[in-house]
Structure 1
Amino acid sequence: MGDWTRPADTFPEDGKRLLIYVVFDRRGEVGDFVLYALEHLRAFCDEIVVVSNGPLTAKGRERLETVGDLVLERPNEGYDIWGYKHGLDAVGERVASFDELLLVNDTWFGPIRPFGPIFDRMNAHPLHFWGMTDHLRVEPHPFTPEDQDYLPYHLQSYWVAVRRRMFTSPEWQAYWRDLPAMKTYSDAVTKHEGIFTQHFTQQGFSGEVAFPTLTDKIENHAVLYAEQLIDAGCPTLKRRPFFQWPVFLDRVAVIGKWTLEAAERNGYPVELIFDDLARNVEPRVLNADAALLRVLSPTDDAYDPAKPLRTAVIAHIFYVEMTDEILDRAGYLPGDVDLIVTTPERERADEIERIVAARKFPGRVDVRVVASNNGRDQAAFLIGCRDVLLSDDYDLVVKIHSKKTPQDGANVGRHFRRHQFENLLAGPHEAANVVALFQQQPGLGLAFPPTVHLGHPTMGHSWWANRPGVAELCAELGIRVPLDEVSPLAPFGSMFFARPQALRLLVEREWTYDEFGGAEAYVDGGLAHILERMPVYAAGELGFHSMTIATPAYLAKSHTAFDYNLDQMSATMPEDTQHQVQFLRRAGYIGWGRFRDFVDMWVRLHRPDAADRVDSLFARTEGVRGGLWRARQRLRRR
């Protein structure tokens, strides 16, 4: 690449390398994956300068100082590029004492494969600069087609190494001196990443890429072919495949689970990946991108009896006649299991105790009469069992309750109950396999059935009126996990497996029964329904990820219904799912197909600039119509 007119050097055997590493953490706390990467880069770098785009907490700075020689903080402006500039300015003329400069940011996990072979290979090449991965030329330009004909071929800016002949040149100094402001992601691409390679090669500097594009397709190979790059020896795994829009990944058939398996197969501690993603990615997006649904085998057990988990079943029983079923389900769990039962009245408690005594439940049983049935199972769990959840006596809790859903039709209520019980605690093998997930994954916080949809209009609507309350409660509790845009990832029905530590943010807050209100408050927008949608976000803030679990028998019903329903909804729309979703998003809310609804959709699709004027016109028209209707009614009354 380039005209090769300038002399170029290999990296000397006794050469010195400077790393400028830019990190961004919305909490200022710094993820473990960053420390892991820097610890492994230390063997190849004589000096490490870490630049934080945004303020650090005291703990965050302390952690970075264990792996960096100099830690700098700056405002989160100009993306990683201006972070690189800040680091270069701080090093100043000392940069000339190094043989190679590494400009690297934190948008990747690694090393997935060892760094050594890459440095050995690239050290031996006479060149001026090199990158880890590249991007083919794109025509027309995806960001500024009206100003530029194409996006040039370029090395991706998350990892660029530069040799001394280039970073001590007047051209290099002029480039960084005249670096333009960058206020948007588009600016970062068009004003630096997309032009850096072409700018310097046109001036006679030579560059190479360690892992060239794998196919002739114009795609972001570092994101879409991450698994194949790992197999080729690439040490860096971009974070983007795990927060990219799932609909897009579906269209290009990128399977995040295969990429994770490749990382794990090569020895990378994937818990570092999940710790980062759980804190920073919408949970439902992560669930889809990383395929975090586990199908529970009804025969083979992955459970390790040599590593039992101290388990408590916390069951709220309002319908005493369901006590036997709850005892049956609790009995499926492996190892020693305690049962804590909550119920709102002494009479119910006495009957429950008689049933439990007759059944001779093997573990410890504690039947508690809660002070109020306000908030039902939610309040009984967070208030009536707060001492249990904060005690550190248990490694795992299973929250269940006597569910009948009498307000829905008989079939709908029966299905919802079976959806909960038969996915959570279908039998001894299935229950043991859920516990095995917690044995195998120390960062797993919750496991619960997928979103119920048979008989329920949850798809696309399951925030209902609860999102504002969830956002308010997240702000109160310091939860900064991004909320899902369309529907939350949540244990609808409020039954789940959980590590008590993952629920700390919810449990440590002291709730009162009055906050939940009476039966009339058990509606969307009420505290109980808000809390039903909170556990995954609360767990994610502490670095715990969540999974959905289902049995083959349930998926046989669920998937076939999904398959048919999607086929029906796609029949009148163009092309693939991504284009269909994008089309519908541009069209906006369909409403009930009234004339007004169709006009609004047409305007949003074809004349979005006129939307406000059309809304104003309809408002005036409806005002006139309303006035005429009221006048007509007055005449009738006369």
Structure 2
Amino acid sequence: MSVVDLARVVDPAPYPENGQRLVVYTIWDRRGEVEGYVLHALHELRPHASRIVVVVNGTIDVASRAALEEVVDDVLVRPNEGYDIWAHKAALDYLGDTIAGYDELILTNDTWFGPVRPFGPVLERMSAEPIHFWGMTDHQRQEPNPFTGKGVLEYHVQSFWIAVRRAMFLSPAWSQYWRDLPPMPDYFDAVLLHEAVFTAKFADDGYRHSVAFASVDYPTDHPALFNADLLLDDGCPIVKRRPFFHYPPFLIRNAVIGRQLVAAIAEHGYPTDLLWQNLSRNVAPKTLHANAGMLEILPRADLVYNSDHEMRVFVAVHIHYPEMTNRLLDFVDNVPGCPDVVITTSDASRAAAIRAVVDERPTARGAQDIRVVASNDGRDQSAFLIACRAELLSGNYDLVVKLHSKLTPQDDFNVGRHFQDQQFTNLLDTSEYADSVLALFQREPGLGLVFPPMIHVGQPTMGHAWWANRPGVSSLCDTLGIRVPLDHGSPLAPFGSMFVARPEAIRLLVEHDWSYDAFGGADAYRDGGLAHILERMPCYAAGELGYHSRTISTSEYMSVSHTSLEFTLDEISQSLPGDSVEAIHYLRGVGHVGQGRLVDFARMYVRLHFPGTGAALRRVVGRETRVGRVLRRMVGRAVE
């Protein structure tokens, strides 16, 4: 750096008493809305800012814009290009020379929840430092660069919160940086072309910086991701959203425990309903379920049902096998209070048999009805969504319990018996257990749905539970306006189609005008058919409305489930390299095993050991050319 360049750097200074602070906050929302956690953050920033400018990447609806304008001074809407970095540039262009009227500029975005701890003490502490810019957190130098696998990721202040003093943002170096900002078409560009170079560029130019919560004071190089709880203990006002949506095996590898982080956030008084609402709408449910540890082992001493505020419960039971009536009603009787019960069945003779059992049972239940459905096409799904639609949309109930007679005669006896027990006991095992289930809903107003964990003992669900249903789920989400991301592996879903839910949480499913014809005939009750598609829909439908889902289990079931999963994973892992993350990447590099034929293993071998050759060969073999057809015949003869 030349002497002339050095002369341009004005000495750093503390933030002046009664200074003017400008905040630029960027938003991107897949629905063109503004979520509650954003409004809360802006409202809490308001006392500390002379002016707040919000930049919306993409679109924003009228109601959301009006809500923003009640809290901030300016709302800019621009195309969703260049991530928050180019949104900050757009704000700087919009502000122009007026920026000279401020003493500090904070560039931030919607990638954090807060304030969990107050902003004031941190702003006061950093105001006293004579610096040019500062960040909330930083990231240590890392080699090799985790984004490229080579080179170095330089030490940097993290870009979700960078505060710049006037000596720097009025400098020629600042103007030049933003004037020459390169395009950033993807996330890696935003990191590698801005976040990872900003600190070094200005530090090399002679600008002094600091960090409110420096990584050197913590046990990892990235405390915003790995040590968020320790940051909170030290007064950091912000928790990044990433610990809740990052790749779960990576977080598991690093022992990042989201459940404990949520508890710490709640302990500091942050309204966690805002957190759950945002995450439920924008994170694939199974990813969120894993990262936030959303399995509840019941009953729990701290979950006591408050009968003084009794919940109005509707129980919908579809009984195709009358011989199961007594067992089903035994579980219904565990529900506290006097729930209203509707039993649906497929014909009059079954209804009569069910009525005979019901009449012999002493009961404290409320209204009871036995209904013969117009068609058994769709079975329990159609009975629930069509025959019980009026009750579900009535507004008369706080919760609905969905049960059905499940014999799974197509399965081996032990397998079918276990699946049935797994469903019933994990939903309503005992009256004490059912009390805890309802107490969960009393404790969490944003809880939309609970159901047993994914069945895996006796069932090949692990890694495959979408089966042929994912395209249909995607299509139905488009029809119903559900934009919650679909899980890549298996979905988070009530397999077995039994759950306890708030009727409002599943409203998008219930409001749709279903017909029995849409479910097809008896042959349509298979993977890819509407009934199986709907089985996988509730969490996504609830998430779109901001409701989160949890799984629930007895300790007895967990004793069986965990030990079997542990042994199975141990067996699989013996033949794979490294930890779980490395093993997963290895297997995905190899590709799908297909049908386990010799040709499938040959393909996997080529993918693993000759990836370039394999790709070229697939392109040639895949072409509808004479060479392609000949090669395919040769390969077929060679391996069959």
TMscore range, shorter length: over 0.9
Check whether the contact 2:220–2:226 (CA below 8 A) recurs between aligned residues: no
The separation in 2 between residues aligned to 1:126 and 1:206, in whole angstroms, is 8
Equivalence map 1:26-105=2 (5 Å): 26-105=30-109
The separation in 2 between residues aligned to 1:607 and 1:566, in whole angstroms, is 28
1:599 to 602, 611, 632: 602
Structure 2 equivalent of residue 403 of structure 1: 406
Deviations 1:148-183 (A, max 9, x none): x42221100000011111111111111111111111
Deviations 1:583-635 (A, max 9, x none): 11111112354332222112222332223443455964553688999xxxxxx
Instruction: Give the aligned CA root-mean-square deviation in angstroms.
Output: 2.0
Which amino acid letter does the alignment assign opposite residue 198 of structure 1? A
% identical equivalent positions: 53
Deviation at 1:352, TM superposition (A): 1.9
2:19 to 7, 15, 19: 15
Check whether the contact 1:333–1:428 (CA below 8 A) recurs between aligned residues: yes
The separation in 1 between residues aligned to 2:587 and 2:344, in whole angstroms, is 46
The separation in 2 between residues aligned to 1:51 and 1:299, in whole angstroms, is 47
Structure 1 equivalent of residue 369 of structure 2: 366
Equivalence map 1:386-535=2 (5 Å): 386-535=389-538
The separation in 2 between residues aligned to 1:489 and 1:620, in whole angstroms, is 44
- The alpha-carbon distance between structure 1 residues 311 and 348, as it changes in their structure 2 partners (threshold 3 A), is same
Structure 2 equivalent of residue 112 of structure 1: 116
Check whether the contact 2:218–2:227 (CA below 8 A) recurs between aligned residues: no
Partner SS, residue 20 of structure 1: strand
Which amino acid letter does the alignment assign opposite residue 260 of structure 1? V
Deviation at 1:238, TM superposition (A): 0.3
Deviation at 1:298, TM superposition (A): 7.0
1:324 to 314, 323, 326: 326
The separation in 1 between residues aligned to 2:493 and 2:630, in whole angstroms, is 42
1:384 to 378, 383, 387: 387
Deviation at 1:67, TM superposition (A): 1.3
Deviations 1:379-405 (A, max 9, x none): 000000010111001000000001111
- The alpha-carbon distance between structure 1 residues 296 and 13, as it changes in their structure 2 partners (threshold 3 A), is same
Which amino acid letter does the alignment assign opposite residue 376 of structure 1? R
Deviations 1:461-489 (A, max 9, x none): 11011011001101111111011101000
Structure 2 equivalent of residue 134 of structure 1: 138
Equivalence map 1:220-235=2 (5 Å): 220-235=222-237
Which amino acid letter does the alignment assign opposite residue 537 of structure 2? M
The separation in 2 between residues aligned to 1:167 and 1:201, in whole angstroms, is 14
Structure 1 equivalent of residue 624 of structure 2: none
Deviation at 1:142, TM superposition (A): 3.4
Runs of at least 5 residues in structure 2 that lack an aligned partner in the other structure: 1-5, 622-627
- The alpha-carbon distance between structure 1 residues 612 and 170, as it changes in their structure 2 partners (threshold 3 A), is closer
- The alpha-carbon distance between structure 1 residues 602 and 381, as it changes in their structure 2 partners (threshold 3 A), is same
Structure 1 equivalent of residue 625 of structure 2: none
Check whether the contact 1:300–1:429 (CA below 8 A) recurs between aligned residues: no
- The normalised TM-score by structure 1 is 0.95
Partner SS, residue 306 of structure 1: helix
Partner SS, residue 476 of structure 1: helix
Deviations 1:269-290 (A, max 9, x none): 1111110010111100000000
The separation in 2 between residues aligned to 1:340 and 1:535, in whole angstroms, is 20
Structure 1 equivalent of residue 280 of structure 2: 278
The separation in 2 between residues aligned to 1:216 and 1:620, in whole angstroms, is 62
- The alpha-carbon distance between structure 1 residues 199 and 299, as it changes in their structure 2 partners (threshold 3 A), is closer
Partner SS, residue 542 of structure 2: helix
- The alpha-carbon distance between structure 1 residues 378 and 321, as it changes in their structure 2 partners (threshold 3 A), is same
- The alpha-carbon distance between structure 1 residues 602 and 626, as it changes in their structure 2 partners (threshold 3 A), is closer
Partner SS, residue 255 of structure 2: coil
Check whether the contact 1:445–1:502 (CA below 8 A) recurs between aligned residues: yes
Partner SS, residue 309 of structure 2: coil
Which amino acid letter does the alignment assign opposite residue 323 of structure 1? T
> Is 2:564 the counterpart of 1:561?
yes
Deviation at 1:310, TM superposition (A): 0.4
- The alpha-carbon distance between structure 1 residues 457 and 619, as it changes in their structure 2 partners (threshold 3 A), is farther
Deviation at 1:6, TM superposition (A): 4.2
Structure 2 equivalent of residue 257 of structure 1: 259
Check whether the contact 1:135–1:218 (CA below 8 A) recurs between aligned residues: no
Runs of at least 5 residues in structure 1 that lack an aligned partner in the other structure: 630-638
Structure 1 equivalent of residue 188 of structure 2: 186
The separation in 1 between residues aligned to 2:523 and 2:43, in whole angstroms, is 56
Structure 2 equivalent of residue 124 of structure 1: 128
The separation in 2 between residues aligned to 1:144 and 1:434, in whole angstroms, is 47
Structure 2 equivalent of residue 176 of structure 1: 178
How many residues end up aligned between the 2 structures?
A: 626
Structure 2 equivalent of residue 238 of structure 1: 240
Structure 1 equivalent of residue 344 of structure 2: 342
Structure 1 equivalent of residue 153 of structure 2: 151
Check whether the contact 1:298–1:429 (CA below 8 A) recurs between aligned residues: no
The separation in 1 between residues aligned to 2:635 and 2:133, in whole angstroms, is 70
- The alpha-carbon distance between structure 1 residues 298 and 189, as it changes in their structure 2 partners (threshold 3 A), is closer
The separation in 1 between residues aligned to 2:24 and 2:176, in whole angstroms, is 19
